[in-house]
Structure 1
Amino acid sequence: MIDLTVNEEIRQKSIELARRRGIIIPTFRQMADPEQIPQPIKQRLRQVGLWEVNPLNLFRITWKNEPVEQGGLFNGVNVWEIPPALTGVKARLFALIGKWFPTGAHKVGATFGCLVPRLVTGQFDPTSQKAVWPSTGNFCRGGAYNSALLGCDSIAILPEGMSRERFEWLKTLAGEVIATPGSESNVKEIYDKCWELRRTRNDVVIFNQFEEFGNYLWHY
């Protein structure tokens, strides 16, 4: 289960930071059912692009975004039914579409599920700690994006063989971008770097998607 132990002193720092930056954090219920989102927030979203670095886009961390790049609100789940001509079976098969999340991938939700419980309980100090996001791709991107929306410093760790566009995009959001040896399959090297950071720095919190229960909770 997620540890909900509260550190009130650090929690107050998160509250003050959110107040200064005008950050409103959505609930899991609102993400599952955007009809629960207050109307004033929906009206403001009409002026915000899907990938814009704007805290309002926290409310677009949902499968139910309107499939437009600018000013969209919400509708049904974005899915594609795969025709039997392709599958060769009679059963109806559907693929969930992550394109209409901010960052273009649903892992922005998984990283929200990891970081936000730490923020609201005071287990992560946004004034002194850095959120470390190790992955070969979209978990790292989602973590850097959420950190930027929530006013947190971040460190992105990914293999050096990933695309140049991915590195360039991350450099606009993450405070640090660390390239590790290898490419898509070189996961061990990513976590070797995490262990190095743990040993040598006291200002990092590593969000390992394979051990963070918030990752699984958000997917559920």
Structure 2
Amino acid sequence: MIDLSIHEEQLERTVQRARERNIIIPTFAQMRDPTLVPDGVKARLKNIGLWDITSPNLFRITWKNEPVAHGGGYNGVNYLELPKSLTGVDTRIIALVGKWFPTGSHKVGATVACLVPRLVTGQFDPTYQKAVWPSTGNYCRGGAYNSTLLACESVAILPEEMSRERFEWLSKVSGEIIATPGCESNVKEIFDKCWELKETREDIVIFNQFDEFGNHLWHYEVTGHAMEEVLQQEMGPQEAYRGVVLTTGSAGTIGCGDYLKEIFPTSKVVASEALQCPT
């Protein structure tokens, strides 16, 4: 379970930092339903780009962003239906679209759900500690992005053979970048570096997506509800929801399947894994 024990002294410093930077943290309810977002925040977003590094973009951690690059508000869930001409089957296949999150990836959701509980309990001190985000790509991008929005220092760890564009983008966001040997298949080397940092540094907190319950929780609470809304909108009276298929990495996104299983008990939750590059 997520540890919610309070550390009063560190929490006081965290609150002071948030006041100084005018940081407001969205709730899960607001990420599910942006109509609950304060009007003042919505007004500020009209002048802010989707990827801009500014704290109001925390309120764009939702599946319901208007699909525009700048100044967008909210609409329904972003999704598409794959045509039969592409799939070759009669079954209707619908997919959520993560392009309209900040950074272009839903990993901003998973990472904010890992970092925020530590902040609001005082378990992470943004005046002293650094958030370490190990991954092959989008998780560390989302973590570094959210860390900056939440006035925290970050360390991104990723394989040296990942794209140049990824490193260039991280250089503008993360306080420190550590490139480990190999490519996206070399996950072990990333965590070897994490163990090294734990042994040599006192000012770090490692957010390992493979053991962070916030990763699963965000998809259960936010992605699952988004999928339910799409089903309510799309399914006809003679149609039935059969299941969700997800390509697993850290088993975070599959949390939405746990939620849907509660709503549709006979449905299936299917996990697929790459043969040549498994995690």
Q: What TM-score, normalized by structure 2, do the two folds share?
A: 0.78
Q: Which residue of 2 is the match for residue 98 of structure 1?
A: 98
Q: Distance in 2 between matches of 1:123 and 1:91?
A: 47
Instruction: Tell me the residue number matched to 2:171.
Output: 171
Question: How far has the Cα of 1:95 moved from its partner?
Answer: 1.2
> Alpha-carbon deviation of 1:185?
0.4
The 5 A counterparts of 1:66-105 are 66-105=66-105
Once the 2 structures are TM-superposed, how far is the Cα of residue 88 of structure 1 from its aligned partner? 1.5
Corresponding position of 1:215: 215
Greater RCO (CA < 8 Å, at least 6 residues apart): 1
Give, in whole Å, the separation in 2 of the partners of 1:219 and 1:188.
Answer: 25
CA distance in 1 between counterparts of 2:127 and 2:151 reads: 9
Q: Take 1:9 and 1:89, find their aligned partners in 2: how far apart are those partners? A: 59
Q: What SS does the aligned partner of 2:123 have?
A: coil
User: Distance in 1 between the 2:72 and 2:136 partners?
Assistant: 29
| Other-structure match for 2:17 | 17
Between the aligned partners of 1:153 and 1:6, the Cα distance in structure 2 is 21
Equivalent residue pairs, number? 220
How far apart, CA to CA, are the structure 1 residues paired with 2:199 and 2:41?
42
Q: How far 1:84 moved relative to its partner?
A: 1.0
Q: CA deviation at 1:145?
A: 0.2
Displacement after TM superposition at 1:96 (Å): 1.0
Q: Match of 2:130?
A: 130
CA distance, structure 1, for counterparts of residue 172 and residue 211 of structure 2? 27
Letter in 2 for 1:212: E
Counterparts of 1:146-185 in structure 2, within 5 Å, are 146-185=146-185
Identity among equivalent pairs (%): 70
The residue number in structure 1 matching 2:28 is 28
Give unmatched runs, 5+ long, in structure 2. Answer: 221-279
- SS for the counterpart of 1:80 is strand
Tell me what 1:115 maps to.
115
Q: Which amino acid aligns with 1:75?
A: N
3-state SS of the aligned residue for 2:56? helix
Q: TM-score, normalised by structure 1?
A: 0.99
Tell me the amino acid that sits aligned with residue 165 of structure 2.
E
Query: Distance in 2 between the 1:36 and 1:168 partners?
Result: 35
Find the aligned partners of 1:213 and 1:117 in 2 and give their Cα distance: 11
The runs of at least 4 consecutive aligned structure 1 residues that moved more than 6 Å come to: none
Counterpart of 2:65, as a letter, is: N
Gaps of 5+ in 1: none
Shift of 1:165: 0.8
SS at match of 1:178: strand
Whole-Å separation in 2 of the counterparts to 1:159 and 1:143: 16
CA deviations on 1:100-134 (whole Å, 9 max, x unpaired) are 00000000110000000000000000011000000
Letter of the 2:109 counterpart: G
Inter-partner Cα distance in structure 2 for 1:203 and 1:41: 33
Tell me the equivalent position of 2:45: 45
1:123 maps to amino acid: Q
Q: Which residue of 1 aligns with 2:194?
A: 194
Tell me by how many angstroms 1:92 deviates.
1.0
Query: Which whole-Å CA distance do the structure 2 matches of 1:110 and 1:206 have between them?
Result: 14
Deviations 1:128-176 (A, max 9, x none): 1000000001000000000000000000000000011100110111111
Q: Distance in 2 between matches of 1:60 and 1:189?
A: 33
